[in-house]
Structure 1
């Protein structure tokens, strides 16, 4: 019997499809599709070397940004005074100071960083790209307050709109400039538009200078483990690029960067879901009904987790064929990299969720210790992989690091009576089904199109 478009069942389905949480998921899917479209288009306009250069620049910016990370977003979402004007101005002032200092530091360190990575000619573009930090500091904190209140519709619409504008700018500049400067300039313009949007699309969004030593001390007490953790994140996420920049030809490094970008699509999706939906929800549960935390931890994320597991597993099996479908033959070598890196993309889901619930419960040190586990594994596994397999051994270490982090996450969740192995097992089963489906599609594609 057909579902009535006016009956109560249809209304329930419609509410589910268009609820705030569902809209965030749809938006993240659209955003990741836009990233893929951007990558497909830009690879036809630019060379693989341009993507390698962009990876070097991104590594520098991420390095400086993570060293100074003070967890402002998590601090605002969790804090009881977030809606108060004085509180917001004090935090905004600290954020602006950080942004200015980062831009100055990036300019000052551009020559040493470019020399360290073996690309001394990139010092100017690194300095220019560093302006994103001060632009970020100028933005209003109103979007963070909206996130805390779980007002997700406007946040989602602005994020998607900003990405569409950025995509158009990137392609337009790439057609005109035909160099990595297109991506750099598009990023700067997009950041500037983000600042403007943070003021004009939110109520009560104005900010003013208000420096407070007491607030700075409170922020540091909250973020000291986050800061230590992000320094480790820096080594974990950028160490492979630093080593591979010197070990691989620029073209091969470009293939690795393209594969890493595709592998990051599902990871960024689950990361955005965790920060925009899961963390605000769990922070609210912690404030109002902490006794229900174990139930809420699985109940509100189970359906997205199962879908993600199947899709991420499918990427592992389907990776090389996906590269062949999306890109021209120059980029086929990225397929092997993608299959390996997609393994960590799957396990990122579990580590993200464990991280959000532990921070919501006030255990920010979990992030730090998880990164210690990751770094230890990468040092040992990377060294073994390098001597056994060469550069590809490092790729294997990067591609399996989140599995080790997931095991540590399960151990910690069990200690806090939050782990449910039944649901975790179901998620793994869906992932295996996804891998099998991806392999089957790849096999059928090769039979139908032997050149793929």
Structure 2
């Protein structure tokens, strides 16, 4: 567990540093509207993926047949068919999306960007098998290589073209490299087209709730971008995404660690099985939450100074966005280690209930905030949605036997103090953002 966690953290840290470096270069090669356009493209592709996710990866991680070749080939076949359907959907929906956002370029950008979904549909299940057994060394190296290829191609294409197309084409290049590298360099059998009835039944039965959960998860994770992208101009939306990119580092890191590491741990050491298992998980949970809260607090305190140091005057408002988003994410950081317990137990239905509650709260709170106080209201609504979802998190955690009230109380007090300190130190930047009238 420790080895896999360190590999995951190291990989994510390297990839984010790589993204930050490329971001600094790209903001000088491209215009702010390009980042707004690409954010809309990314939200659209993410929506397609999550509106069709049947839970192939978590099914392989938790199933007793997760190492069976017929099961893996059936899962891969479903994944390939899904990728084909996603690309066709991107082509069909490009025109309505261009009308909705009044951006004609989306009509051409979305079908081409959607090819990445078609390509990754052929990614072999070898990566999922390695995750199942926490053998993440080579997987991590391949992920880093994929990200390096993507970032490098984006910078070179942006330098050569100065166009938003550089970001789209680099995504296709990295997707193609990922599929080829995983097929050639990871251990395991070659996937073949197969549709075994028993495996299909298990995947569909488990995946139906995952499908609904990921639909809700899309609105939970992308609701801010959907609504803010509609309410704000493209350049303001591009500035928002710069701030979000900086502030979301700790929460994204925590999400990746818990998804990759916790399902195998919960599966092998159920906390209900013994007090010893629960205390072992408590120790891990305190370590993970404490490290992530300190990390998010550092972005909350220093976010505005980082933006001033790294970006030009077109992006200065992103500093206040970074501070506020980092503070608003603290409630979610505290409970991030609970979610995967339901999936590890095969209870995808309870996971769906939590996802639905979070999605409804996120969309509702941000919409109310935008209507009443613009961007500042949306950011406050973002934090309110995390806090209001806590009772549902406790319900799920109690069902799985993983709730730790001592952990939650300690870190709620610690997080509140850190948020108050961060906003106090950056009060002038926050009030300046409010004065801009976004």
Same fold (TM over 0.5): yes
Partners of 1:302 and 1:241 in 2: how far apart?
31
Partners of 2:33 and 2:403 in 1: how far apart?
45
Match of 2:57 in 1: 73
**Deviation (angstroms), 1:387:** 3.6
Question: Which one of the candidate residues 26, 31, 38 is aligned to 1:42?
Answer: 26
Match of 2:185 in 1: 201
The answer for unaligned runs of 5 or more in structure 1 is: 1-14, 446-452
- CA change 1:227–1:291 in 2 (3 A) is farther
Identify the range of structure 1 (422-431 vs 145-154) with the bigger mean alpha-carbon deviation: 422-431
- CA change 1:47–1:152 in 2 (3 A) is same
Match of 2:261 in 1: 277
- Is the 1:51–1:254 Cα contact (8 Å) retained in structure 2? yes
Partners of 1:411 and 1:288 in 2: how far apart?
15
The answer for unaligned runs of 5 or more in structure 2 is: 430-438
Match of 1:123 in 2: 107
Match of 1:4 in 2: none
**Deviation (angstroms), 1:403:** 2.2
Match of 1:132 in 2: 116
- Is the 1:341–1:400 Cα contact (8 Å) retained in structure 2? no
TM-score by length of 1: 0.87
Partners of 2:105 and 2:145 in 1: how far apart?
35
Match of 2:236 in 1: 252
| 2:173 is equivalent to residue 189 of structure 1 | yes
Residue correspondences, number: 429
- CA change 1:427–1:35 in 2 (3 A) is farther
Question: Which one of the candidate residues 310, 320, 331 is aligned to 1:347?
Answer: 331
**Deviation (angstroms), 1:435:** 4.2
Match of 1:8 in 2: none
- CA change 1:158–1:301 in 2 (3 A) is farther
Partners of 1:442 and 1:391 in 2: how far apart?
17
Identify the range of structure 1 (259-268 vs 91-100) with the bigger mean alpha-carbon deviation: 259-268
Identify the range of structure 1 (286-295 vs 253-262) with the bigger mean alpha-carbon deviation: 286-295
Partners of 2:348 and 2:264 in 1: how far apart?
15
| 2:118 is equivalent to residue 104 of structure 1 | no
Q: CA-atom RMSD, angstroms?
A: 2.6
Match of 1:448 in 2: none
- Is the 1:310–1:432 Cα contact (8 Å) retained in structure 2? no
Alignment of 1:173-322 (within 5 A): 173-286=157-270, 293-322=277-306
**Deviation (angstroms), 1:441:** 7.5
**Deviation (angstroms), 1:256:** 1.0
Partners of 1:436 and 1:245 in 2: how far apart?
28
1:116-164 deviation per Cα after TM superposition (whole angstroms, max 9, x unaligned): 2221331111000001111111111001001101112122222222222
Partners of 1:380 and 1:100 in 2: how far apart?
33
**Deviation (angstroms), 1:391:** 4.2
- Is the 2:369–2:380 Cα contact (8 Å) retained in structure 1? yes
Question: Which one of the candidate residues 358, 365, 382 is aligned to 1:398?
Answer: 382
Partners of 1:140 and 1:292 in 2: how far apart?
37
- CA change 1:220–1:301 in 2 (3 A) is same
- CA change 1:206–1:422 in 2 (3 A) is same
TM-score by length of 2: 0.90
**Deviation (angstroms), 1:204:** 2.1
**Deviation (angstroms), 1:262:** 1.9
**Deviation (angstroms), 1:99:** 0.6
| 2:41 is equivalent to residue 61 of structure 1 | no
Partners of 1:290 and 1:76 in 2: how far apart?
26
